[in-house]
Chains A and B, each alone.
Chain A
Amino acid sequence: MNAKTLYDKLWDTHVVRQDADGTALIYIDRQLVHEVTSPQAFEGLKLAHRQPWRIASMLAVPDHNVPTTNRSGGIADPIARLQVDTLDANCAEFGITEFKMNDIRQGVVHVMGPEQGATLPGMTVVCGDSHTSTHGAFAALAHGIGTSEVEHVMATQCLVAKKSKAMQVKVEGALSKGVTAKDIALAVIGKIGTAGGTGYAIEFAGSAIRGLSMEGRMTLCNMAIEAGARAGMVAADDTTINYVKGRPYAPKAEHWDAAVAYWRTLHSDEGAVFDAVVELDAAAIRPQVTWGTSPEMVTDINGRVPDPDSAPDAVKRGDWERALAYMGLTANTPINEISIDKVFIGSCTNARIEDMRAAAAVAKGRKVAANVKLAMVVPGSGLVKAQAEAEGLDKILIEAGFEWREPGCSMCLAMNDDRLSPGERCASTSNRNFEGRQGQGGRTHLVSPEMAAAAAIAGHFVDVSQW
């Protein structure tokens, strides 16, 4: 038998049919739904008088539009409120399980799914959100889809797809102190570029990846899309299985042993061939900071803002010049001299309990710098928030001068009121530093939670590994 990659195994077990040209119908085990990319899909179903194929495969949560402060009065913005109300109404109409805004299980969809055990090894998982790649951390085949495909999966439980190529990103060795999964993700993107993974499914492998917690693996797979890969994944092992065990949607006792036995096969076989292999030395990765308007515009904390004159070609040079102008940065400025106005710790990338712990550990006994107007921590879900509070992390952060908010996507994409004003500079644990992403004219620097918390305290970027 041919040696298979993890991706081969996940693909092969979900092919309903495949045509000669490679166009396949793929069965979907789990669809996660949120308020922004679903209303048009539900409307399409209704207009065509179609019913969802398998309602139990769906799980819904409002996250993009929800306020992160005082929710007792509901959502003030009438357009945002209508969108969340529409999700509630659609879920009620079709009988889809939804964790509503004031349910403790509500949270960012990519935090909520795994936390509930709704993401399991071996599954195909889709959601109308590009960061669905997160769920690949569980040795699942998970990727974002558009709204037409949301409707397609609702109606048919399948997707029309062609198999991607397989890329292995191998990170061997031990991470240095203060270096996290986020830094691996940014270092990979810096190396291969934001389109480096286009057309590929990426499997992250190597001893540094095996050493990551599930939270870390989710952070890494979450950012696969920023390297252009729709799907990222990590082989299943004890870490995966221990994380899943006992969660509400995890297999119950009667199926548990069979499930685990199957999950243990979810790794690339010895000798499996990848279409591309990228290798990184974990020990060489330093804490990363983006300087531009694309996640590939990244360097480490000891680096400098690059000079467009040194760009490899004219298109890149133009992009770098535009990025520096937008970011209000001068070429050759040392990264650790860049002052910040705001700090955002949250998002589907970095809002899990470990991220909260990391931020609190850096902030403990210290104070947010005077030049930082706002430092906010937005837990990924109500359950993360409750856990953090049980551990006293909220108190540590509040005492240091951080705001402790309600769960949601918040300033990762600024659909709610959490946003940057024009010209404001933010140390953010989110995933995209695009122009206007965190608010029109806002300037985003992507970092790990440790680096964001340290920047909040120092008022500028600082090497948390020397903290």
Chain B
Amino acid sequence: MRKFTLLDGLVVPLDRANVDTDAIIPKQFLKSIKRSGFGPNAFDEWRYLDHGEPGMDCSQRPLNPDFVLNQPRYQGAQVLLARENFGCGSSREHAPWALEDYGFRVIIAPSYADIFFNNSFKNGLLPIKLDAAIVDELFKAVAANEGYKLRVDLERQVIATPDGREIAFEVDAFRKHCLLNGLDDIGLTLQQVDDIKAFEVKHRAAQPWLFA
């Protein structure tokens, strides 16, 4: 997994609640057996005016000029500012794959769906929860200031605004550790192989039918 330590990134505002993972990456792209290459199809139905299918050259497709990601001032954005319950619906990890492949490293929203939140951390993507009132202020600040950037410091758990204000955020200690160091979860768990084996012996004795 790609490390995340510090980012000074342009912010793009996606001003709607309950953005679901079907919207982030529509189902037709889930037929891929790879975990990369989903970026051009992130938000496909909102981003393009035609119907997208796997294998199309997205650089030739008509863009929806009303969709915020297509506006010139937000090109190159790495921070996605969103509303409540971001990433709800399907558990498809293709959603964080698509966001990461598009170029996002940070999402800021008041709340997330649990599975999406969890999946993001496994892919070098940092989802930050902030109070709805602060998120609302950020939406206003982004709208008012072209080129609005935020500096996200995971080690210190603070976001710095262009006017020098610092906003603290919470992050689970284990997830922070993995993200800062780009660690593979599986490798870490396999360091506990003796514990797992001991548990399995006990579990098998208690519920032998699970192992029959």
Contact = CB atoms under 8 A, between A and B. Distances in A.
A230 B22 contact: no
7 nearest A-B residue pairs (beta carbon): A251-B209, A146-B93, A146-B119, A39-B33, A255-B209, A148-B122, A144-B91
Given A83-B33, A152-B189, A251-B209, A16 B195 contact: yes
A435 B122 contact: no
A275 interface: no
Contacts of A129: 90-91
A217 interface: no
B93 A123 contact: no
A195 B26 contact: no
Interface of A: 13-14, 16-17, 19, 21, 23, 25, 27, 29, 36-37, 39-40, 43, 48, 50, 53, 56, 64-65, 77, 79-80, 82-83, 86, 120, 122-123, 128-130, 132, 143-149, 151-152, 155-158, 160, 162, 164, 194-195, 198-199, 228, 230, 251-252, 255-256, 258-259, 262, 294, 315-316, 318-319, 322, 413-415, 432, 434-437, 440
Contacts of A194: 18, 85, 88
B164 interface: no
B91 A259 contact: no
B78 interface: no
Contacts of A21: 172-174
Interface residues of B, number: 59
A40 B37 CA distance: 13
21 contacts: A16-B192, A23-B173, A25-B195, A40-B33, A83-B31, A146-B91, A155-B189, A194-B85, A195-B18, A198-B85, A199-B114, A252-B212, A255-B212, A259-B209, A294-B20, A318-B16, A415-B30, A415-B31, A432-B90, A434-B89, A437-B22
B54 A79 contact: yes
Nearest to A164: B114
B85 A228 contact: yes
A29 B210 contact: yes
Interface string B169-210: 000111000000000011001101001100110010011111
Given A146-B93, A319-B17, A435-B22, A40 B35 contact: yes
Contacts of B101: none
A294 B173 CA distance: 33
Interface in B55-100: 55, 83-85, 88-93, 96
B85 A157 contact: no
A82 B33 contact: yes
Nearest to A87: B33
B153 interface: no
Contacts, number: 190
B156 interface: no
A65 B31 contact: yes
Contact of B185 (A147, A152, A436): A152
B111 interface: yes
A256 B209 CA distance: 8
A316 B132 CA distance: 14
Given A43-B35, A83-B33, A294-B20, 6 more contacts: A25-B189, A50-B186, A157-B200, A194-B18, A319-B16, A322-B16
Contacts of B189: 25, 152, 155-156, 158, 160
B200 to A, nearest CB: 7
B84 A195 contact: yes
Interface string B1-27: 000000000000001111010110011
A294 B114 CA distance: 17
Interface in B96-132: 96, 111-115, 118-119, 122-123
Contacts of A155: 186, 189-190
Nearest to B51: A440
A59 B88 CA distance: 26
A48 B186 CA distance: 10
Contacts of A199: 114
B34 interface: yes
B73 to A, nearest CB: 21
Q: Which of B26, B33, B190, B192 has the most CB of A within 10 A?
A: B33
Nearest to B26: A436
Contacts of A316: 17
B28 interface: yes
Nearest to A19: B174
B81 to A, nearest CB: 13
A414 B115 CA distance: 22
A182 B102 CA distance: 37
B91 A434 contact: no
A195 B210 CA distance: 34
Contacts of A252: 209, 212
A118 to B, nearest CB: 11
A130 B118 contact: no
A146 B33 contact: no
A160 B185 contact: yes
Nearest to B95: A146
Nearest to B83: A315
A25 B196 contact: yes
Contacts of B211: 56
A145 B116 CA distance: 9
Given A258-B209, A415-B30, A195 B113 contact: yes
B17 A145 contact: no
Contact of A122 (B15, B84, B173, B207): B207
B119 A148 contact: yes
A409 B45 CA distance: 21
Q: Which of B18, B112, B206 has the most CB of A within 10 A?
A: B18
Given A29-B210, A156-B190, A434 B84 contact: no
A441 to B, nearest CB: 8
A64 B115 CA distance: 19
A29 B35 CA distance: 27
A56 B200 CA distance: 14
A129 B115 CA distance: 10
